[in-house]
Structure 1
Amino acid sequence: MPQRIIQNRRTFLKTLAGTAMGLAGTSAIGAPLVKNPALERKLTLNNLHTGEKLTAVYWAGGDYQLEALKEIDHVLRDHRSGTSIEMDRQLFDLLYMLQRDIGLHKEFQIISGYRSPETNAKLRQQSSGVAKKSYHMLGKALDIRVPGVPLRDLQHKALSLKSGGVGYYAKSNFIHVDVGPVRRWG
């Protein structure tokens, strides 16, 4: 009989912990976002190639905001070809968590968002650092920096999230983040 009580207590505690995690809110990548899932998630993006700036609440009332997502997708388009795709929403949650961990609401400067296969092929001809099967072509990667935040600090925060790939490009002054497998380089 005491054994059964312990098992029931363990089951109860696991259920309680699972419920608490659900109430805490998690991102699509499984990392805790905020204690209140109804809390708005806002990003400020500055596409350095187009000069476009956007501040958008992409999550409110417990759900993604479709109009804001379309605007973000447009700002993150391939500036060379003008094409855009639906970016992976996990990427926005990753940026939001980075912003939260930095402790600031600053803009993310976008060096590269979506890349069409044609753009990616052209960039590969110019640089050996461009992957043939880049996550940029899938809408799952961004090259970013944050004004006033040292690049190494941004890299360490991104690595601590364990949410995908993180590349460090000191000479070009940006980090790469993606929502692919967890890995690092640079």
Structure 2
Amino acid sequence: MNRRILLLSLTTSAVAATSIATAHAAPDRRDGRRAASPTSRRLQLRHAATGARFSGPYHNGTAVDPVAMAELSIILADTHTGAVRPFDPRAIDILWEVAHQARLDRDELVVLSGYRTPETNAAVDGAGDSQHLRAGALDVYVPSSQLVGVRDAALALQRGGVGVYERRSFVHLDSGPVRRWGDVTPGPAGPAMAQPDDRIARLRQAWAPFRWR
């Protein structure tokens, strides 16, 4: 069987289970006497390291599409080994919401890093408890002209972790505990955030040699 088809089949099964649990856990939001009409959520996404692309809906407004999530999981696979782990739908939702609020939902989003194996994470000097290790984090390239808007949208969500790297032109988004860090200059979201011990500093340089062949 073709390796990609096998991975897609296995990942679809795993994501389907996650999707069902997520859908059941979601609150029933109603507007008066009638439920709000569901709205399809679409993404255009490209992985910078592999060139792999996704374009289309991943969520029908009620639940994630397991097939689309399986495809996203493959696109966001570890770029060194090609290892695939079912990607956390909550992290994809955060990315979609940030892009929507920043009015970038019709643009192609460029992902620098998605899932990482422990070996790849160590090779790029990632944090030992990185959310990338559980396929729950995305590092997204953001042009300097759009960075403040993306930052403000991400912080306003109050969901997961937000790391802003203005000098390196990317934003980290994850579905872990709510926290924030980075080196962005002051703006509407509040005072500048203090930069922590920056183990991610060499990531962009380190990603270049890693290509899924």
Under a length normalisation based on structure 1, what TM-score does the superposition of the two structures give? 0.75
What are the equivalent positions in structure 2 for 1:21-170 lying under 5 Å apart? 22-23=29-30, 36=37, 38-60=38-60, 62-104=62-104, 105-124=106-125, 130-146=126-142, 150-170=146-166
Contact residue 108 and residue 144 of structure 1 kept, 8 A: yes
Deviation at 1:78, TM superposition (A): 0.7
Letter in 1 for 2:161: G
CA-to-aligned-CA distance 1:104-156 (integer Å, 9 cap, x gap): 321211000000011011112xxxxx211110001111000345852222112
Say which SS state the counterpart of residue 46 (structure 1) adopts: strand
Say which SS state the counterpart of residue 99 (structure 1) adopts: helix
Say which SS state the counterpart of residue 51 (structure 1) adopts: coil
Contact residue 107 and residue 146 of structure 1 kept, 8 A: no
Distance change >3 Å, CA 181–CA 61, structure 1 → 2: closer
Over aligned residue pairs, what C-alpha RMSD do you find?
Answer: 1.9
Deviation at 1:61, TM superposition (A): 6.1
Separation (CA, whole Å) in 2 of partners of 1:93 and 1:149 = 23
Say which SS state the counterpart of residue 29 (structure 2) adopts: helix
Using the aligned pairs only, state the percent identity: 35
Contact residue 144 and residue 169 of structure 2 kept, 8 A: no
Q: What are the ranges of 5 or more consecutive residues in structure 2 without an aligned counterpart? A: 1-26, 183-213
Under a length normalisation based on structure 2, what TM-score does the superposition of the two structures give? 0.66
Does residue 174 (structure 1) correspond to residue 170 (structure 2)? The answer is yes
Deviation at 1:67, TM superposition (A): 0.8
Distance change >3 Å, CA 23–CA 145, structure 1 → 2: farther
Say which SS state the counterpart of residue 150 (structure 1) adopts: helix
Separation (CA, whole Å) in 2 of partners of 1:149 and 1:84 = 33
Separation (CA, whole Å) in 1 of partners of 2:145 and 2:44 = 15
- Structure 1 runs of 4+ off > 4 angstroms? 146-149
Greater shift, 168-177 or 157-166, is seen at 168-177
